[in-house]
Amino acid sequence: MNGNDKRQHTTTGFDSRTELSIVPWWAYGLAVVVFIGIQLIFHLLAWPSESNPPGMPFQILFPLFIGLIPAFLALLVGYVNRDAGRRGMSRALWTLIVIFVPNGIGFILYFVLRNPIHTECPKCKAEVSPRVNYCPRCRYNFHPTCAQCKAAVRPGDAFCANCGGELVSAA
């Protein structure tokens, strides 16, 4: 199998700690400023000017909820900015798209159209798209195939499941 038994294994699960570490510091700062600004607007400008203000629970909970929405959007913009860069996409273009395309459609477009994360070749450590079969630098085979019928085989297989041919394993 051309020595491909030691292929790099990647997980497909969602790691929230890794994903949250992608959000840049400026997005956290912007989210805090936006959240506090909205609280100030409601508590200093909106409620005192009314002759018959709403009940105290509404005065507390409504600004909190309203402040969380744009703060969360600021964090999403920061996430898209960094994530697009690590996926080899234009950071500036996708950041502008998610900011200016209304109603969250920019975010939806980004998450539907984004490229997969590049992986590292286990042989030469080059950054490679997971969509390729061979490393462009060292020709490492990411997806071993049968020499006779070219069907995909798994590491450790002794025979091809497609044609029954014997697979030559590298010693």
Token pair belonging to 100: 């200016």
What pLDDT does residue 153 have?
84
pTM for the complete prediction?
0.66
Q: How far apart are CA 54 and CA 59, in angstroms?
A: 6
Q: How far apart are CA 24 and CA 8, in angstroms?
A: 28
Query: Which residue numbers in the chain have pLDDT < 70?
Result: 1-14, 47-50, 169-171
What pLDDT does residue 76 have?
93
Q: How far apart are CA 120 and CA 59, in angstroms?
A: 52
Exposure string of 90-105, with b = 16+ CB inside 10 Å and e = fewer, is eeeebbebbeeeeeee
The DSSP letter of residue 6 is G
What pLDDT does residue 141 have?
81
Q: Where do we find the tokens 């400008």?
A: 45
> Which residues 6+ apart lie within 8 Å of 135 measured at CB?
121, 123, 124, 126, 128, 142
CA 131 to mean position of chain CA atoms: 16
Question: What's the Rg (C-alpha) of the chain?
Answer: 26
What pLDDT does residue 150 have?
79
What pLDDT does residue 49 have?
65
What pLDDT does residue 11 have?
44
What DSSP element (H or E) covers 120?
strand 119-120
Token pair belonging to 8: 């790099």
What pLDDT does residue 51 have?
73
The DSSP letter of residue 82 is H
